[in-house]
Structure 1
């Protein structure tokens, strides 16, 4: 086999392995933080800090689900670095440890 064929074959195998690993995580519904929430508002603003006057850095629509950090600070739940949402408009997913 040529080097080019081996490289292509290796790339295909890598893509398949990554896909299978990711599909397994999605099927289990596992959360890296143990906390997964659902949005209960029509539109939920994500802010850059745990402050209702902080800059809006994103939006989530009703029924969106995403990982969050356990615990609430100042009425907000951290969902990523520099991204906080109002905890009152989220509901922990069943079996989640928020």
Structure 2
């Protein structure tokens, strides 16, 4: 085999290995933030700020799972930019570091 062929084959193998490792982490419930939660309320409102009177910007249904940031502020957990949910209606997924 030529050097060029070996490089191409090596690159393809590397991509496959990286993809397989990432898929295993996702299947195990891995989270980019280390914190993944489950909704315990029938419907959980996502708000623009960590305030129960803030504008509703989304909703989650019971048993929905999503990434969140570790820690709670003013009784709310940040789940995305300008998106907060009441922490009392979420439960960290087992093995999560919330």
Asked if Structure 1 and Structure 2 have the same fold, meaning a TM-score greater than 0.5 normalized by the shorter chain, the answer is yes
The CA distance in 1 between the partners of 2:57 and 2:46, in whole Å, is 6
CA distance in 2 between counterparts of 1:22 and 1:42 reads 32
Structure 2 Cα separation of the partners of residues 56 and 22 of structure 1: 33
Q: Which deviates further from its counterpart, 17-26 or 54-63?
A: 17-26
SS at match of 1:91: strand
- Secondary structure of the equivalent of 1:31? coil
Partner of 2:69: 69
Structure 2's unaligned 5+ residue stretches are 1-11
Alpha-carbon displacement from aligned partner over 1:24-76 (angstroms, at most 9, x marks no partner): 33212111111110000000000010000110000000000001000000000
Task: Give the TM-score taking structure 2 as reference length.
Answer: 0.76
Q: Which residue of 1 aligns with 2:4?
A: none
Q: 1:25 to 1:75 in 2, by over 3 A?
A: same
Q: Which residue of 2 aligns with 1:4?
A: none
Q: Which runs of 5+ in 1 are unaligned?
A: 1-12
Taking the TM superposition and a 5 Å limit, the aligned residue runs for 1:1-98 are 20=20, 23-98=23-98
Cα distance in 1, alignment partners of residues 19 and 55 from structure 2:
36
SS at match of 1:77: strand
How many residue pairs end up in the alignment? 84
Match of 1:3 in 2: none
